[in-house]
Structure 1
């Protein structure tokens, strides 16, 4: 996909394709290194996904040969020293950490990664729902090599996905590892030949978008609650959520489509 023009500090380029929002990291001349502007626009894009009723699934991708080399430290370091946030409060937080003053995403996010996928790139994909990786991916969570700590979720989610020992192997050495290792550690869900990652991510996103939107959101949030708060907390919601969903127009359409032996046409109501 051809990169739209971008300013020197980079930008986030959005494209709506039907019910999908393609969110493109756009600073290929600088390995898509994130500046404060890019953080702000990423938060705005995630918020647009959640707030627009016509949108059902987000697809995060990058222009150029690489996903992102991570932070543009010269522009981000002053914010880190002051404790300021690059993303304005009140927006959806792309890292989905539940930080005070920020919203958590409700709609699904599929990510296509390729080439260099360092630090923030790993944290963005771990904060998403489904990750498709090109087989040329190079991953590294190298904050310890810069005298800082990963604070975008890597210390939480790498251990959650791969076990503490596997997580610390990469967190404490800052080493570079490949796509096969990322798949083994459950950091990504699918590997494809380089150049096919966005197409496969779009295929998965379209399959999700074809399902009942309210049921998709409820299913995602319940699975997330099970991971974060435990299975008992998630099970306590089963009856109430199922009662609410069963009274929707989409549930009635699901029954009709089953009886009529056709694909369902869901409205999100």
Structure 2
């Protein structure tokens, strides 16, 4: 079901499509290599918020129209906001960069990203903010803010070092070089590299596999792993008993036992 069939605009757009419990989120400004305008970033936040707020949706897939994922920010349109220290996203929405900044929500449900072609600056930060990334083997990555006289503020300075180590992060953050999918895989920036043209199908396959699992358990597992990375293993371990007790009392946990006993596929409801 395509939810928002709209004519292309110079500002670009984000459109969504629901496939069962999966929300497909497409970046659509192919004529400009999917360069992001403020309106597009606001629309992306609205799509992420829809994913989190709709109980029928269990996982998102972020992808792009055209030959490229995104060339990053459309700097002329963002420069005035940067100079004023303003955000492009309205308060109360889910932050696609998942940084936990005041006024913006953090995503709870899983997000899989399919990247291809040019994946620069914001594109890298969006994929590092997601949970899993499938990259086409034709990807070109670059975190080139220093080449434009600005700093990466969408999470690259945080997550590149966490994934790849400080030296590897500095190599790419400070040289603004272009690197390929093999290097992104080596640095743990992406989880799979597939032939160009198959990245969306693989990302959707992963999302559908996640959607078959118990939704409450998926969210709890994701948040606990994220807490371990951000706050340390013991902070995550401190939640084990209370989280497991809550999950064990759910309808889905009961269904998990019944389906195991009956040797059938589970029918989870998210309750």
Superposed CA deviations along residues 105-143 of structure 1, whole A, max 9, x for unmatched, are 000000000000000000000000000000000000000
Report SS of the residue matched to 2:60. Answer: strand
Counterpart in 2 of 1:267?
269
Instruction: Give 2:72's match in structure 1, choosing from 70, 73, 77.
Output: 70
What is the match of residue 44 of structure 1? 46
CA distance in 1, matches of 2:234, 2:78: 40
Q: TM-score, structure 2 length as denominator?
A: 0.98
**1:173 matches 2:175:** yes
What is the aligned partner in structure 2 of residue 253 from structure 1?
A: 255
Whether 1:100 aligns to 2:106 is: no
- Matches of 2:15 and 2:48 in 1, distance apart? 12
* Matches for 1:48-197 after TM superposition, within 5 Å: 48-197=50-199
- Give the TM-score taking structure 1 as reference length: 0.98
Instruction: Measure, in 2, the Cα distance between the counterparts of 1:135 and 1:53.
Output: 35
Cα distance between partner residues in 2 of 1:229 and 1:212 = 25
Distance of 1:254 and 1:6 partners within structure 2: 45
Per-residue deviation, 1:6: 1.5
Give 2:12's aligned residue: 10
Aligned partner (choices 28, 34, 37) of residue 35 of structure 1: 37
Deviation at 1:245, TM superposition (A): 0.1
SS at 2:119's partner residue?
A: strand
Equivalent position to 2:213, from 211, 216, 237 = 211
**Unaligned stretches of 5+ residues in structure 1:** none
Question: What secondary structure, in the 3-state scheme, does the structure 2 residue paired with 1:188 have?
Answer: coil
1:10 CA drift (Å): 0.1
Structure 1 residues 178-202: Cα deviation after superposition (integer angstroms, max 9, x where no partner) = 0000000000000000000000000
Aligned to 2:204: 202
